[in-house]
Structure 1
Amino acid sequence: MRTLSMTLICSLTLVLLSFSSEVSATTNPRRPHVVIILADDMGLGDVTALNKYSQIPTPNLDKLARQSLSFTDAHAAGSYCVPSRYGLLTGRYMWRTRLGSGGNLANFAGTLIEPDRKTIANLLQNAGYYTGLIGKWHQGLDWKLRDESEREQIRVDLNYQNFNNIDFASPALKGPKDYGFTYSFGTAGSAEMNPATFIENNRVTVIPTLTSAQAKAKYGEWYGRDDNIVAEDYTMDRLVPTLSNKACEFVETAVRTKPDQPFFLYYAMTTPHNPIVPHREFQGKSRAGTYGDFVFELDYHVGKLLQKLDDLGIVDNTLVIFTSDNGPVNRTKGYSQRWVRGDTMIYDHDSNGPCAGWKGGLEEGGHRVPFLVRWPAVIKPGEQCSTTIVFNDVFPTLAEILDIPLDDNIAEDGVSFYQALKGESRPVSFHKAIIHNHHNGTFAVRQGPYKLMVHGPKTIDEVLNESVTATYTLYDLGQDIEETTDISKQHPVQISQMLILLKQYMKTGRSKGS
């Protein structure tokens, strides 16, 4: 009997020790779960907690802001989708890639991230994380072709539409799983981009066969483009909730089936990017028209995921970042009424808050974005931080948190802001300068309160070529956040210093450490 009792005690001890080791693996503050939630085309002024004049109720984001450190001077790595996502994933400016400054990815243009380049997902996967992408990829996929002779044409033809040459029945040759994501489910690009179908682990879930006209006839309406190829199960009202469910499913699966392994979720939402089609249950719920309703729907799904973290009991040691890939689109012009169904400006709502400018531009409204960071185990809640940061900094910040050294050829344009998260140091910036770029290719340099816009040169070669004519405007954002007054004539030395840095960053291929 005594032998049996001792056996039971030893067995219970082993179970408790095993349980203890599992708990320590998931509660270690140097190995937090990581969730990055990236909105699509959402403005700084859309969140009520960041803009008291917002006409859009955002209760879940407001709650997150109260629990977070809010960066008030945070910037996307570009003012539109592709460069901002490239910078976030790689810690490097997209204008250093084959696309150059102002470049964008065509529907079937192939992967942008270089084969040997490390991403955040690689970093965390190699550190033992279970990694997942849910939502919009928009870094290109290399599809299997029936005629390989068109491979190079695809990479340069912005209007390549030979759908018959794409073998959708086969998995893509290269996609998210080749860049560190163990699991992925989402879309190749924005909601309306080709192919209009869900892609899971580099393979379409349903082969797209419908034209836009056929989709409209089948579903009564089609809010995408006129030249889409559409899967039978792909409708705009199904898209957002499907991705939301998948994000929650990924987190629950990770915690339930891999309790001793931290996870990384990159939840790249497709809202509130065009087409603006809020689900019927959210229509009329804001005071800013259809766009406002769509942001309200986004807020609901953010809250749904955050509640899942709470239900699973992992909030304390989960690092959550909420931000947007760039500023909002100027919906007062240039878009079909069937996409917008209303004008946000008539509702006395300013998506950019105090900033001027829109998506794609150099003005602050194009790239200054909401940036909330919650990590209860480390971060003091409810504070604001005015340190200037850029998406490129997320990669080295996670590396420092995990005590992983980075060599010089990784995240060349990122600097860790871990000290700011801990409250140990919150300088004006951890960078000497950061670089913005316009969708037309032009550049701007930010240093301290000053922002220098460089008009004329639209490529690295042109910036470095002294014979290319350039003009400049300089703003003091500390005094003039709306960028109304050009002070370039009063500060020639400041301009010279900023131009030296811009050219240095272009020549050396990096901006960190200088």
Structure 2
Amino acid sequence: MKITVLFISLFAILSFNSFKEIPKKTKRPNIIYVLADDLGYGDLSAYNKNSKIQTPHLDQMASEGMMFTDAHTSSSVCTPTRYGIITGRYNWRSPLKQGVLTGNSKALIPTERTTVASMLKQQGYHTAFIGKWHLGWDWALKDSNAEKKEGWDAKDFDNIDFSKPVQNGPKELGFDYSYGHSGSLDMAPYVYVENGMPTQVPDTVSVNDGKFSWWRKGPTASDFVHEDVTPNFFRKSFKHIEAQAKTDQPFFLYLALPSPHTPILPTEEWQGKSQLNPYGDFVMMVDDYMGQLVKAIKDAGIEDNTLVIFTSDNGCSPAADIKGLEAQGHYPSDQYRGHKADIFEGGHRVPFIVKWPDYIKKGTVSNDIICTTDFMATAADITNYSLLDNEGEDSYSMLPLFKKPNPKKPIREATVHHSINGSFAIRQGDWKLAMCAGSGGWSGPKPGDKEVIETLPEIQLYNLKNDPGETTNLQDRYPEKVTALKTLLIRYIKEGRSTPGTPQPNDAISFIWKQIDFVNP
């Protein structure tokens, strides 16, 4: 009897350990993180059964891996979300308290901060970035004594010396190889930078004012063709995967797409395919390229032990002509309120698909709440790296969810959301508290609207289980819930972290932070 009990106990221990461990392979898994730009939660047919945009390749990826239904970006706009992915830290701990950077902005991430790339490089990975950076880097200047300009106007680029290397970019943050452009595809300068060096000196000034292919005026290199940027990044990625698969070194590829963000530029073969508008065509084009990416991984013979993540940096943008899409029965945010820039769910709830045949069971669905900041801790967990107290302060490992997608206890204590104007929300379980009266972004009620100023309560409380569309503000009915969530949010802000560990300082700033009023009432 004792022997039987002992055997059962040993079996339970072994089963628990094997549940947590990464499969014993000849090498650690390759990791590919694909970040779409301005893709809505409801744009994929795998997520929205009523979607008018067909995305068969991403649907297949979901059926061969895991879908997360409650995944969120750390912000509802580009730059801050990218900061969180790379650092595992909320952007508002940095000097970026609202908005996004320009194509001429200084580097946001200091080189002494650990990034997912520098960590994986330390763990023996070859690391690569291909795509849209949008985290700032320091362009070389013709006159170093001249005032550094950060802006949108073409004259703001006059002092850049494109014949010299940039500093404090991907190369200095842990990427062995890097190729991409500085900001969004509608932000000048339009120059590719490879391993810190511009590939060509711009020789023209381009501008396009079309409704769906609009971009800002600015210096443009002859090898930079707007319509070909997305295909170019995918081609580069295919070649990179093929080359790295021939080595014995595991690799990490961060592929940051500039699409389907503006300029909305589906190539000729995709124009009109969605029968909706150019945005729908563009989404279908991205889906097709994702199918080619998965095929490239398979053809390289590394499919089983390669972790592929596909997600978006925030919700769909109004530039997609959301009202026009909705008139045709397509809802980019599905049942959720708002869109890009907003504190509402449509601003930051995004598709999140993970495929890893050696470790993740096909066709699984997780309803647990995750955040894009969680990539840092996940990569650390996969490679048995122990994060220091000043690394990945807002990152929780998703690795346990890959085996047990719907645990009784969520992996995150709570999740903080952030809008374009710097408004906060905090989510815990079914409850979400927004520390603003309206959207905090671009949908109505907008910040500054008369309705916001004169009639709406200063805060919003929603039960997302009962009210996923955020239609009924419950702040006056559940004051104890408001107090509890606000207290937790303030603790997260003041302690410099939302994960267990020693409190950390937030970055010093030289200006008055408007949100300080509710932190120190």
Give the TM-score normalised by structure 2: 0.85
Measure the CA separation in 1 of the matches of 2:320 and 2:236.
Answer: 34
User: Do structure 1's residue 262 and structure 2's residue 250 form an aligned pair?
Assistant: yes
* Preserved contact between residue 331 and residue 343 of structure 1 (Cα < 8 Å): no
CA apart distance, 1:447: 0.9
Match of 1:193 in 2: 187
Partner SS state of residue 84, structure 1: helix
CA apart distance, 1:190: 1.2
Measure the CA separation in 1 of the matches of 2:142 and 2:457.
Answer: 46
2:162 paired residue among 154, 162, 168: 168
Measure the CA separation in 1 of the matches of 2:155 and 2:435.
Answer: 36
User: Do structure 1's residue 296 and structure 2's residue 291 form an aligned pair?
Assistant: no
Match of 1:475 in 2: 462
* Preserved contact between residue 492 and residue 498 of structure 2 (Cα < 8 Å): yes
User: Do structure 1's residue 133 and structure 2's residue 129 form an aligned pair?
Assistant: yes
CA apart distance, 1:372: 0.6
**Structure with more helix by fraction:** 1
1:144 paired residue among 140, 155, 163: 140
Residues 397-476 of structure 1 mapped to structure 2, 5 A cutoff: 397-423=378-404, 426-427=407-408, 429-455=410-436, 471-476=458-463
User: Do structure 1's residue 382 and structure 2's residue 369 form an aligned pair?
Assistant: no
Measure the CA separation in 2 of the matches of 1:489 and 1:221.
Answer: 43
Unpaired runs of 5+ residues, structure 2, are 1-21, 441-455, 502-521
1:240 paired residue among 219, 224, 230: 230
Measure the CA separation in 2 of the matches of 1:302 and 1:170.
Answer: 34
CA apart distance, 1:195: 1.1
User: Percent same amino acid at aligned positions?
Assistant: 39
Superimposed CA distance per residue, residues 331-390 of structure 1 (whole angstroms, 9 cap, x where no aligned partner): 477xxxxxx9x9323321111111110101100000000001111111111011111010
User: Do structure 1's residue 227 and structure 2's residue 217 form an aligned pair?
Assistant: yes
Name the aligned partner's letter for residue 429 of structure 1.
P
User: Do structure 1's residue 286 and structure 2's residue 283 form an aligned pair?
Assistant: no
Name the aligned partner's letter for residue 287 of structure 2.
D
User: Do structure 1's residue 498 and structure 2's residue 472 form an aligned pair?
Assistant: no
CA apart distance, 1:226: 4.2
Measure the CA separation in 2 of the matches of 1:291 and 1:118.
Answer: 36
Measure the CA separation in 2 of the matches of 1:375 and 1:234.
Answer: 34
Deviant stretches of 4+, over 4 Å: 157-160
Match of 2:70 in 1: 73
Name the aligned partner's letter for residue 369 of structure 2.
T
Question: Closer, same or farther in 2 for the Cα pair 1:126/1:160, shift >3 Å?
Answer: farther
Measure the CA separation in 2 of the matches of 1:96 and 1:419.
Answer: 27
* Preserved contact between residue 287 and residue 347 of structure 1 (Cα < 8 Å): no
Measure the CA separation in 2 of the matches of 1:508 and 1:226.
Answer: 40
Name the aligned partner's letter for residue 480 of structure 2.
V
Measure the CA separation in 1 of the matches of 2:120 and 2:24.
Answer: 16
Partner SS state of residue 50, structure 1: coil
CA apart distance, 1:393: 0.8
* Preserved contact between residue 109 and residue 158 of structure 1 (Cα < 8 Å): no
Measure the CA separation in 2 of the matches of 1:103 and 1:251.
Answer: 34
Partner SS state of residue 252, structure 1: helix
Partner SS state of residue 131, structure 1: strand
Match of 2:294 in 1: 306
* Preserved contact between residue 61 and residue 353 of structure 2 (Cα < 8 Å): yes
User: Do structure 1's residue 154 and structure 2's residue 121 form an aligned pair?
Assistant: no
* Preserved contact between residue 388 and residue 428 of structure 1 (Cα < 8 Å): no
Match of 1:315 in 2: 303
Question: Closer, same or farther in 2 for the Cα pair 1:484/1:30, shift >3 Å?
Answer: farther
CA apart distance, 1:441: 1.3
Match of 1:183 in 2: 177
* Preserved contact between residue 57 and residue 286 of structure 1 (Cα < 8 Å): yes
Partner SS state of residue 483, structure 2: helix
Superimposed CA distance per residue, residues 367-426 of structure 1 (whole angstroms, 9 cap, x where no aligned partner): 000001111111111011111010111100111111111111000011112111122762
Measure the CA separation in 2 of the matches of 1:221 and 1:456.
Answer: 32
* Preserved contact between residue 35 and residue 320 of structure 1 (Cα < 8 Å): yes
1:330 paired residue among 313, 318, 323: 318
* Preserved contact between residue 194 and residue 228 of structure 1 (Cα < 8 Å): yes
Match of 2:350 in 1: 369
* Preserved contact between residue 385 and residue 426 of structure 1 (Cα < 8 Å): no
Superimposed CA distance per residue, residues 34-75 of structure 1 (whole angstroms, 9 cap, x where no aligned partner): 011111000111111111111111110010010111110000
* Preserved contact between residue 26 and residue 33 of structure 1 (Cα < 8 Å): no
* Preserved contact between residue 187 and residue 216 of structure 2 (Cα < 8 Å): no
User: Do structure 1's residue 352 and structure 2's residue 333 form an aligned pair?
Assistant: yes
CA apart distance, 1:504: 0.7
Superimposed CA distance per residue, residues 129-168 of structure 1 (whole angstroms, 9 cap, x where no aligned partner): 11111111111110111222346x436x675833231110
Name the aligned partner's letter for residue 301 of structure 1.
Y
Name the aligned partner's letter for residue 49 of structure 2.
K
Name the aligned partner's letter for residue 294 of structure 1.
F
Match of 1:15 in 2: none
Superimposed CA distance per residue, residues 455-503 of structure 1 (whole angstroms, 9 cap, x where no aligned partner): 2799xxxxxxxxxx98211000011110001111111111101111111
* Preserved contact between residue 389 and residue 429 of structure 1 (Cα < 8 Å): no
Match of 2:50 in 1: 53
CA apart distance, 1:313: 1.2
Name the aligned partner's letter for residue 410 of structure 1.
E
* Preserved contact between residue 102 and residue 183 of structure 2 (Cα < 8 Å): no
Measure the CA separation in 2 of the matches of 1:221 and 1:252.
Answer: 38
Name the aligned partner's letter for residue 149 of structure 2.
I
Match of 2:88 in 1: 91
* Preserved contact between residue 108 and residue 160 of structure 1 (Cα < 8 Å): no
Give the TM-score normalised by structure 1: 0.86
Superimposed CA distance per residue, residues 233-262 of structure 1 (whole angstroms, 9 cap, x where no aligned partner): 222222121111001011111112x2x100
Question: Closer, same or farther in 2 for the Cα pair 1:358/1:124, shift >3 Å?
Answer: same
Measure the CA separation in 1 of the matches of 2:199 and 2:408.
Answer: 47
Measure the CA separation in 1 of the matches of 2:158 and 2:271.
Answer: 38
* Preserved contact between residue 191 and residue 224 of structure 1 (Cα < 8 Å): no
Match of 1:14 in 2: none
Partner SS state of residue 384, structure 1: strand
